[in-house]
Structures are given as structure tokens and as C-alpha cells.
Chain A
Amino acid sequence: MASRHSATAPGTPMSLARSRPRHGEQVIKAVLLVAALVSVATTIGIVVSLLEPTIRFFGQVSASEFFTSTHWGPLFEPPHYGVLPLVSATLITTGIAIVVAVPLGLGAAIYLSEYARPRVRKICKPVLEVLAGIPTVVFGFFALSFVTPLLRSVLPFEIEIFNALCAGLVVGFMIIPIVASLSEDAMTAVPSGLREGSYALGASRMITSLRVVLPAAFSGIVAAVILAISRGAGETMIVYIAGGGQPNFTLDLGKAMQTMAAFIAQAGSGDVPIGTVDYNTIFAVGSLLFVMTFAMNYVSARLVRKYREVYE
């Protein structure tokens, strides 16, 4: 390394062109590239680890049973491999979560971006970050031992101790910060000229927020919501703890349900012998979950690129 400094001896005219190759620089660049490639290797690793057992699973269980049967019980005798109860449970809990998170998260975002004074924002945003930083196992505990008893005492209808309603509600609160902070970013990025124009035309702050800022930030908000949906669909600990372990194919929100992620956690935490159908089942369900969240992220990325309004 020290020899570099003596490369241009005094007296010799400095050439603007590189005098000699700097191998050290090239090595550093290569090392950094390798670090960046770790992320690509991770994706390949995930796909490979999912693919092989999944293919074997479909050699043991027919695809038509997997995708159309409404009975899930791979660990019982005789085993049933209809994945629909897991999918419906995932959709139901995620649906409840979205019903909670989108209005509350958007409301918070509009308030923080359009109404709140800088000092209020400075206090509120870190609190939202704290909510985002609570581990999901803690949310799960809170759901099971506080929210469910609360719901049981106030709701007019009966719900079980483990139920989809409570799990979905708490997942909703977990994803509020995602919706709120990403939507707020999108709204803050809308240039103030648009707001001023709207005010100048006599619009109120509410009208400006809803008819000018919200549409202008629409692509960012949609991306936030889709990201929140995929986070909710992949959420494990809350639905595992509060939603229970029975795969019920039902629309009754008061019943226990098992989502895809909860099944993977439950079956994966036992000591399942490698190569058995039970082992492969975990990976088959994992593949389905992976494909579903991957598709959502892809759609989200496309939407953002297609509908992004560029202001300069």
C-alpha cells in the first residue's frame, strides 16, 4: 500500500491517465460485490430449500387434493392434505388486520403529514416506531391474555379462547406503523405547491387532504397497504399464539383457525424426520406462502412504477 505514494516521483510529469493498475482497488471492489451477492444467494437458497421437498411432496400427494380438498390434517390417521383451510384462515386474519390497519394507519398518516405541527410530529413518530418495534411474540401474548378476554366480555356473541377475530385485530395493530409511516412518506413527498393551489381555489384542509394530497400520493399508499398485507399474511407468532392450532374451514371469526404460517411454525417446531411426507408438507405450505407474498410484492412494485406521479 505504501508504494502507491511513491508512484509519482517528483520531477516526472503527472499523466492524467491512470499510470498503473491498482490491484488493491480491484480486490476491494470484488470483495464488496461478493457481499452484495450474498443477498442473491439468500434468494436462491430459499427457492432451492423450498423447491426440492415441495416437488417430492407432490409426488406423494396429488395436487388436486392439495388445492381443492377442504380438509387439512396431515398429522392424523388417515392424513388429509387439503390446504384450503389454511389459505382461508390466512385470508380471514389478514382481511381483519387490513380492516383495522388501513383506516387507522391512513388517518394517522394524514394527520401527521397534513395537520400536525412539527413538534407534535416529532413526538408521535418515535412512538409509532416503538409500536413497530414490539416483538410479535409480545403481541401474541397480549392478544391471548388481554384482548381475547376483553372481547369475550364485551361482544354479544360467543368466541372461543383461540379465535381468528382477536388474532386478526392484533395483527392489524401490528401493521398500523407500516401503513402509517410509508403513507406519510408518500404524502410528505407531494409538493406544497399543489396544496397551496388547492387552498387558493378555496378548498378546505380536509378537501385538500382528500382530493389533492391523497390522489397525488396514491401509488405510495397502495404500495404501503400491499406491503402491510404481505406482512400480515406472513405473520406467525400472533396467529399461532392467539389463533390456535386447529385448521377449521369456516367463516366463523369466533372459531380457532390455523394460518399457513402458524402451521409451518407448529409442524416445524416438532422433530419431524427428514424425507417423510410430514417434513415435505412444511415446505409445500412454505412454497405457497412464499409465492403468495412474492406475487403481492411484485404487484406492489409494478403499481408504484406505473402510477407514480413525478414532480420536479
Chain B
Amino acid sequence: MAVLSTPRSAVQLASKGQPLREHLFRIALIASLAIAFVFLLALVSYVLIEGWPRLDSRLWENMPSVRNPDIAGAQSAITGTLWVISITALLTLPTGIAAAIYLEEYADKNRWWNRVIELNIQNLAAIPSIVYGILGLGIIARTFGLGFSVITASITLGLLVLPIVIIASREAIRAVPPSIREGSLALGATQWQTISRQVLPASIPGIATGSILALSRAIGEAAPLLMLGAVSFIRFNPDGLFASYTVLPIQIFNWISQSREGFHILASAAIVILLVILLLMNSAAIWLRNRYQKRW
């Protein structure tokens, strides 16, 4: 601490009069970060310890049950999650990236409709997820007549994470310096050629990072799907867009709602699987960001 090599060491010179207060403040700051980390550590270790006895192949080989926790598994929930998330990705990633390209590359900020779109996206990002459940129930399931099916869940989750995809993609596109675009245009490329051959390839790492984070949010989301028919115990894998389904977070919720201890152990084991999937996705996103982040 006494090394006088960094510019900030001037602080040390000045704070001689009140070192105790300075010290306590620093300790309080570290403590607030530490408390959050201890909470996370406690959560992860509790779930691991609780779920350890049931963390075996029964989880992905057997179907859900409310009668016998020993033979119950989560196969239909795992396949359901795969179905719902794949369709969500197919729907929301192209839409979100296209919207981001429009807003960054084409939209004239002085036009009122472009400002409306922009404000609207910020607002959407802050709407509670349960309200998207209401949208799914009232419009997608009932008015569109898609019912409680994989496609209803995917559209709802897709709309829920769309603002995340758009905001992240816009940041990635904005980070590409204008000189790249100007160079391409000067060589005679059209605007779309410039975007598709220069801007997009340069911003793909950022877009991919944002997309992964958005999908991992969708994987963990339970609240809107509670209203869209995922709560019933489904003992078969979905076989198409209009099949009934359940997903991992909802299956976990169902087991939490059971009073018997065996189901809580089962819920912990399923949570471990969910957390491992999310951790892998998060690490991939962080790795992508660090590996391909370009400094222009």
C-alpha cells in the first residue's frame, strides 16, 4: 500500500488524517461484494449437496411423476426445453438482428417513427415477464388459436427476449467504426453489400454473445409459461410445433410444490442440470467476448 508508483497513491498521502474511516469504508465495499458472492456460493452448494443423491441417469431417462420420487425423471421436460428454445432461437434471432441492423444502419433518427421504435424497445425490456404470459394467453394461445403448445411458448419467449437480442446486436454493430463502412461504400459497394460483407462479419462476436445470453434467459424463464399450459405433468416428449409440452424450470416448480422430501431432492437435481446448461452457455458467451472482441 505504501508504494508510491501509481498516480492514485496521492490518496494515501492525503488520507493520513483519517485512515480508520477510509479503511472501514473500503472493508464495507468489499463486504457488500462478498455478501453477494457468499449468497451465490451458498445457493450453488446447497443445490449440489441436496441434489447429489439423485443426480443420475434416471433424471434424463425417466418421465415425470408425482407419485414416486424414486422413479421420476425429467426427460419430457428436457426435450421440451430443447424444442421450445430451438424454435425461440429460430424466431427471435433473425428478427432481433434484422431490427438492430435497421435501427443502426438505416433508421433516420429525426423521423418520429424511428424514435418511437427505439423508446418502445427500451420499454419492452422492462416489462415483467408475467405480463408476457398474459400476452401469450390472451393473444397467441386464444386469439391466434395456437393453444397451449410448443409454438405458443416459443413465440412468447421469443418476444420476451427480443429486446435483449436487439440491444446487444445494436451495440455490436455500433462498435464497428464508420471508416469501414465508408471504405466499402467508396469502393462502390451498395449499402446492403456493405452491411452484409463488412459490418455484420465484424460484429458477429458481439451479436453471438448477446444472443447466447438472451437464449439462456429464455431457458430459465418459468413465469409466462405457467400461464401457457406447461404446468400439467407431461409424460411424453413433444413431437411437433403443436404438441403439449413442459420445460425444465416448470418441472422444477412442479416438484417444489410437492410436499414430500423426495421431490425436493429431485428438484435440486434438476436445478443442477439447468444450472450446468446455463453456466456452459454463459462461459461460451464470456469466452466469445474475450476471444473475438476487436479493438479498432
Which of A20-28, A65-73, A151-159, A250-258 is found at the contact surface with chain B?
A20-28
User: Which among B33, B190, B220 has the greatest number of chain A C-beta atoms within 10 A?
Assistant: B33
Tell whether A133 pairs with B278 under 8 Å between CB atoms, given A42-B159, A111-B29: yes
Chain B residues with CB under 8 A of A22: 190
Chain B residues with CB under 8 A of A176: 36
Nearest-neighbor residue (CB-CB) of A203 within chain B = B14
B residues contacting A by CB (< 8 A) are 7-8, 10-11, 14-15, 18, 21-22, 25-26, 28-33, 35-37, 39-40, 42-43, 46-47, 50, 94-96, 98-99, 101-103, 106-107, 116-117, 119-124, 126-135, 137-139, 142-143, 159, 162-163, 166, 190-192, 213, 216-217, 219-223, 226-227, 231, 249-250, 252-253, 256, 264, 267-268, 271, 274-275, 278-279, 282, 286
The contact of B271 among A138, A200, A264, A297, by CB within 8 Å, is A138
Chain A residues with CB under 8 A of B25: 206
Within 8 Å of chain B (Cβ to Cβ): is A276? Answer: no
Number of A-B contacts (CB under 8 A): 268
| Bound-complex Cα distance A25 to B103 (A) | 16
Within 8 Å of chain B (Cβ to Cβ): is A60? Answer: no
Chain A residues with CB under 8 A of B133: 264-265, 268
| A282 and B32 within 8 A (CB) | no
Tell whether A268 pairs with B227 under 8 Å between CB atoms, given A131-B40, A290-B127, A294-B123: yes
| Bound-complex Cα distance A33 to B162 (A) | 15
| B138 and A104 within 8 A (CB) | no
| B95 and A35 within 8 A (CB) | yes
A206 vs chain B, min Cβ distance (A): 4
| Bound-complex Cα distance A49 to B135 (A) | 6
| A104 and B221 within 8 A (CB) | no
The contact of B138 among A50, A130, A137, by CB within 8 Å, is A50
Tell whether A206 pairs with B256 under 8 Å between CB atoms, given A46-B131, A237-B223, A261-B130: no
Tell whether A134 pairs with B275 under 8 Å between CB atoms, given A36-B117, A104-B35, A234-B128: yes
| Bound-complex Cα distance A111 to B31 (A) | 10
| Bound-complex Cα distance A115 to B29 (A) | 9
Chain A residues with CB under 8 A of B131: 46, 50, 234, 286, 289-290, 293
| B286 and A126 within 8 A (CB) | yes
Given A46-B127, A126-B282, 16 more A-B residue pairs with CB atoms under 8 Å apart are A32-B99, A35-B96, A115-B29, A133-B282, A134-B278, A135-B274, A141-B47, A141-B268, A206-B15, A206-B22, A234-B127, A261-B223, A269-B226, A286-B130, A290-B131, A297-B123
Interface string of A162-203 (1 = CB under 8 A from B): 000000000001001100100000000000000010011011
Chain B residues with CB under 8 A of A289: 128, 130-131
Nearest-neighbor residue (CB-CB) of A201 within chain B = B14
Chain B residues with CB under 8 A of A104: 32-33, 35-36
Chain A residues with CB under 8 A of B46: 142, 145-146
- CB-CB nearest 3 A-B residue pairs: A234-B128, A135-B220, A107-B32
Tell whether A25 pairs with B190 under 8 Å between CB atoms, given A37-B117, A104-B36: yes
| B271 and A107 within 8 A (CB) | no
| Bound-complex Cα distance A50 to B25 (A) | 48
Within 8 Å of chain B (Cβ to Cβ): is A214? Answer: no
| B134 and A237 within 8 A (CB) | no
Chain A residues with CB under 8 A of B250: 137
| B223 and A138 within 8 A (CB) | no
| Bound-complex Cα distance A45 to B144 (A) | 12
| A36 and B37 within 8 A (CB) | no
Chain B residues with CB under 8 A of A140: 253, 256
Within 8 Å of chain B (Cβ to Cβ): is A213? Answer: no
20 A-B residue pairs with Cβ-Cβ distance under 8 Å, sorted by A, are A32-B102, A46-B134, A112-B33, A127-B40, A131-B40, A133-B213, A135-B219, A137-B220, A137-B222, A138-B47, A146-B43, A202-B14, A240-B223, A264-B133, A265-B226, A268-B134, A289-B130, A290-B128, A290-B131, A294-B123
| A29 and B15 within 8 A (CB) | no
A115 vs chain B, min Cβ distance (A): 6
User: Which among B29, B40, B221 has the greatest number of chain A C-beta atoms within 10 A?
Assistant: B29
Chain A residues with CB under 8 A of B286: 126, 129
Nearest-neighbor residue (CB-CB) of B50 within chain A = A145
Chain B residues with CB under 8 A of A112: 33
User: Which among A137, A206, A208, A264 has the greatest number of chain B C-beta atoms within 10 A?
Assistant: A137
| A129 and B282 within 8 A (CB) | yes
A residues contacting B by CB (< 8 A) are 4, 22, 24-25, 28-29, 31-33, 35-40, 42-43, 45-46, 48-50, 52-53, 103-108, 110-112, 115, 124, 126-131, 133-142, 144-146, 173, 176-177, 180, 196, 199-200, 202-206, 208, 227, 230-231, 233-237, 240-241, 261, 264-265, 268-269, 274, 282-283, 286, 289-290, 293-294, 296-297, 301
Nearest-neighbor residue (CB-CB) of A298 within chain B = B123
The contact of A236 among B106, B129, B252, B282, by CB within 8 Å, is B129
Nearest-neighbor residue (CB-CB) of A202 within chain B = B14
| A135 and B14 within 8 A (CB) | no
Chain A residues with CB under 8 A of B129: 234, 236
The contact of A144 among B22, B31, B132, B256, by CB within 8 Å, is B256
Chain B residues with CB under 8 A of A286: 130-131, 134
| A264 and B134 within 8 A (CB) | yes
B152 vs chain A, min Cβ distance (A): 13
| Bound-complex Cα distance A261 to B130 (A) | 7
The contact of B117 among A39, A241, A293, A297, by CB within 8 Å, is A39
| A133 and B220 within 8 A (CB) | yes
